[in-house]
Amino acid sequence: MSDAVEPVGMVDSLSGQGGRPDDEAVAFARAYMAEGEMDPVIIAKIRDPERMAQREAQKLALKARDWPAFSHYRDANAARAGQRTDVVFIGDSITEMWRIAQPDLFEGVVVNRGISGQTSPQILLRFMPDVIALKPKVVHLMCGVNDIAGNTGPTTPGDYRNNILAMLDLATAHGIEVVLARLTPINGLPWSPGVVDPQARIVELNGWLASVAAERGLVEVDYGPALSDGQGGMDMAYTRDGLHPGAQGYAVMRPLAEAAIAKALAHVA
CB atoms within 10 A of CB 216: 14
pLDDT in the model for residue 114: 97
- pLDDT, mean over the chain: 92
| Predicted confidence (pLDDT) per residue in 187-208, tens digit | 999 999 999 999 999 999 999 9
pLDDT in the model for residue 1: 43
Q: Is the pLDDT of residue 138 over 70?
A: yes
| Predicted confidence (pLDDT) per residue in 54-79, tens digit | 877 877 877 778 999 999 999 999 99
pLDDT in the model for residue 160: 98
pLDDT in the model for residue 68: 95
Sheet holding 110-114, edge to edge: 110-114, 87-91, 138-142, 177-181, 219-221
> Which residues, other chains included, contact 267 with Cβ-Cβ below 8 Å and sequence gap of 6+?
177, 219
Separation of alpha carbons 184 and 223, rounded Å: 6
Q: What is the DSSP string of 61-85?
A: HHHHH-TT-THHHHHHHHHTTTS--
Q: Is the pLDDT of residue 216 over 80?
A: yes
pLDDT in the model for residue 20: 65
pLDDT in the model for residue 3: 58
Separation of alpha carbons 110 and 247, rounded Å: 19
| Predicted confidence (pLDDT) per residue in 144-154, tens digit | 999 999 999 99
Separation of alpha carbons 92 and 69, rounded Å: 12
Band of residue 21 on the pLDDT scale cut at 50, 70, 90: confident
